[in-house]
Amino acid sequence: MKPNTRTKHSRVRTKGEIVMTGTKKIVAGLVFAVVIVGSPILAHATDCISYPLPQGAILSLPQAPNWPDSVVLRAPTGEAFIVYGGAAFSMGMGFVGNYSFGLFVPWQWIPWDKCPRDGTVVKERSRAEVYVFYRGAKLWIKSPVVLFQAGFTWNDVRTIPDGTMRSIRSTNGMVWREMSRPEVYVSYGGMKFWIASPDILRALGFKWDDVIVIRDGLLSAFSATPTEWSPPLRELSSTAVYDLNETPGQKRLVTTLGQYCFPSVVPDGALASLPSGPNTTLICIG
């Protein structure tokens, strides 16, 4: 089971969070890493909105019904949705005209824009990859061994229509602990970094309420090298800022940091295992 590169991602990670995308710009032979900073999208804190939007869709209400698994909902347009883990996944327009199939409800009652609740395990119909959701982020369950170690069975795996997998954009800045382990980690770029003490947790700007407790074995979803976009990072006791996106598997010292660039902070020594690449300049456009 390997990651689904076709997965749709939400543009909303947490309420009011700013969306960032990365690119490169060549100026007079110099390579710059450019980060474009967008405006926050105002929505519910756990929204998972995929694009393009369903035709005629309206954001669901926070107080919308908590539908049971496997219920089929029909939008006013006739589009059918199946619900798993409190999230609705489109079954398409193929059921238009078959009015005996599904429950017709207003758009505001269809959680098409929500992430599955914590602990929901899903896969797309024609793909082998299996994921579990926590706080809107999907963690890849890399093997049946991990699935069973976490206490799941194949009966817990919900199959959704192809192309409907969605999640928040990344796990950047999320804090984790497995149920039976005391170790706490913060994640950036698809990697996890050990937080050695409560004092360090607080120094990084987190509190104990931020720690997401997940089932045993699920931290294996994280890699030793970056697998997704990461903000610029610096270690707690250092002023050196590194970019992890320009050269896969390497950290690059940022010698010039744009005024709109705001590095995230990781524990001391967290970046030591990554090989160093050439220095770079990071420009963030507000």
Overall average pLDDT of the 115-142 stretch: 96
Q: Is 80 helix (H, G, I), strand (E, B) or coil?
A: strand
pLDDT at 1: 54
Query: Regarding beta strands 166-167 and 174-178, do their DSSP bridges make them parallel or antiparallel, or are they unpaired?
Result: unpaired
Q: Is the pLDDT reported for residue 286 higher than 80?
A: no
Per-residue pLDDT tens over the stretch 81-93: 999 999 999 998 8
Whole-number percent of the chain with pLDDT over 90: 63
Q: How confident is the model at residue 38 (pLDDT cuts 50, 70, 90)?
A: very low
Q: Is the pLDDT reported for residue 262 higher than 50?
A: yes
Distance CA 85, CA 144 (A): 21
Distance CA 162, CA 127 (A): 8
Range of weakest confidence among 42-56, 102-116, 154-168: 42-56
Range of weakest confidence among 12-26, 51-65, 77-91, 253-267: 12-26
Pick the residue with more confidence: 50 or 198?
A: 198
- 255 by Cβ neighbours in 10 Å (0-12 / 13-18 / 19+) ranks as exposed
Overall average pLDDT of the 9-15 stretch: 34
Q: Is the pLDDT reported for residue 8 higher than 70?
A: no
Q: How confident is the model at residue 94 (pLDDT cuts 50, 70, 90)?
A: confident
Distance CA 256, CA 65 (A): 50
pLDDT at 11: 33
User: Would you say the C-alpha torsion 241, 246, 248, 252 has a positive or negative sign?
Assistant: negative
Overall average pLDDT of the 27-40 stretch: 35
Instruction: For residue 88, list its beta bridge partners.
Output: 83
Distance CA 43, CA 59 (A): 8
Per-residue pLDDT tens over the stretch 194-250: 999 999 999 999 999 999 999 999 999 999 989 889 999 999 999 999 999 877 788
Q: Is the pLDDT reported for residue 44 higher than 50?
A: no
The H-assigned helical ranges of the chain are 144-149, 198-203
Residues 6+ apart with CB under 8 A from 275: 249, 250, 251
DSSP string, 134-194: ETTEEEEE-SHHHHHHTT--GGGEEEE-TT--EE-S--TTEEEEETT---EEEEETTEEEE
pLDDT at 6: 38
Q: Is the pTM of this model over 0.85?
A: no
What are the phi and psi torsion angles at 193 (to 5°)?
A: -125, 130
Average per-residue pLDDT in the chain?
83
pLDDT at 48: 82
Range of weakest confidence among 2-16, 56-70, 83-97: 2-16
Count other Cβ atoms within 10 Å, centred on residue 286.
11
What are the phi and psi torsion angles at 36 (to 5°)?
A: -95, 120
